[in-house]
Amino acid sequence: MSLPRFALAGLLVLSPLAAMAQDGASQPPRREITVSGEGQASAAPDLATITFAVQRNAATAREALDQSNESMAKVIAGMKELGIEPRDLQTSGFSISPQYRYDNANGNEQKPPELVGYEVRNGLTIRLRDLAKSGDILDRAVTLGVNSGGDIAFAVDNTDKLRVDAKTAAVKDATQTARALAEAAGVGLGDVVGIQTVEMGMPMVPMPAPMMRADAAALKSSVPVEAGETTMRANVTMTFAIVPKS
C-alpha cells in the first residue's frame, strides 16, 4: 500500500533537518582562548576650561548684587580684550545667600541667629583654545575682581586619533598575551573569532590653579600654568581559535 502524497512531502522536509542535527552532534567543540588587553595613548592638550567666581558681601542683597554685577562686567570685558570669544564665555552659577551670626548667651543658651548681610556669588566658565594665555587669563581675572574658585581642567578637543591609537595598543597587548599563552600550552594560535572593546574615557582632570586672592598685587604678572598630557585608555577582550602547533 502506497503512502499518501502529503505524507511523502513531510518525509522529504524532515529528513534534511534530522541529518543536520546528527552532523552538529558529531562535531567536536571548538577550542578557543580568550584574553584581555589594555592600551593607552597620550597627547598634549589643546583645550582648557577655567572656572572662577566673583563673590561680594554687603549689608543688603541689593548692595551685594550691584557690587557683584560691576565686578563681573569688568571681568567679562577683560576676557574679551584678551581674545576670548563670546561663545566661550558661560555663566556657571549664581546665588544670593543671607549671612547670619550665631552667638551663645550666658549659660550656653543659643541666641536667635542675627542677619548681618548678604553674599552674592556669580560664576564664570571660560573655554580657552589658546593655552598660552592661561596664565594671563587667571592674572587678569583676579586683577578685575575675581576672588573665588580658580579650577582649570585640560583636554584634547579632537579625540578620534587618540581613541584609535588606544584601541590599537590594546589589541596588540591582547595578541601578545594570547601568543605567549598558546606557546606555553604547546598549541598554535588561529584566527580571531571574537573581539570586544571598552573605552575607558578621557576625563578632564581638574588641576587647581593657585589660590585666587582679592589682592592682585600678591600675584606675579602671569600665573604659571602647566598643561601636562591627556591620556585615553581602552580595554579589549579577544577570542582566538586554538589550532595544532605547526
Name which residue leads in pLDDT, 132 or 175: 175
**In the predicted structure, residue 6 carries a pLDDT above the cut 80:** no
Cα distance between residue 44 and residue 70, in whole Å: 37
| Single-letter residue type at 182 | A
Grid coordinates given for 229: 598630557
DSSP 8-state secondary structure symbol assigned to residue 104: B
Residue listed under C-alpha cell 561663545:
87
pLDDT in tens, 128-174: 999 889 889 999 999 999 999 888 888 888 888 899 999 999 999 99
Tell me, what's the pLDDT at 39?
A: 94
The answer to whether residue 35 is domain-embedded is no
Cα distance between residue 178 and residue 5, in whole Å: 57
Highest mean pLDDT: which range of 4-18, 108-122, 162-176:
162-176
- Closest by alpha carbon to 156, among 235, 231, 233? 231
How many domains in the chain? 1
The answer to whether residue 168 is domain-embedded is no
Cα distance between residue 154 and residue 157, in whole Å: 9
The answer to whether residue 153 is domain-embedded is yes
Tell me, what's the pLDDT at 222?
A: 64
**In the predicted structure, residue 26 carries a pLDDT above the cut 80:** no
Domain range for 93: 44-101+109-157+204-229
The answer to whether residue 190 is domain-embedded is no
The answer to whether residue 217 is domain-embedded is yes
The answer to whether residue 246 is domain-embedded is no
* Residues in a beta bridge with 94: 122
Name which residue leads in pLDDT, 209 or 196: 196
Tell me, what's the pLDDT at 216?
A: 37
**In the predicted structure, residue 178 carries a pLDDT above the cut 80:** yes
Grid coordinates given for 184: 606555553
Q: Is the dihedral of CA 11, 16, 20, 22 positive or negative?
A: positive
pTM for the model stands at 0.63
**CATH for 74:** 3.30.70.2970
The answer to whether residue 82 is domain-embedded is yes
pLDDT in tens, 210-232: 433 333 343 345 677 777 788 88
Hey, which bits of 103-214 come out as E strands?
A: 114-128, 148-155, 188-201, 206-208
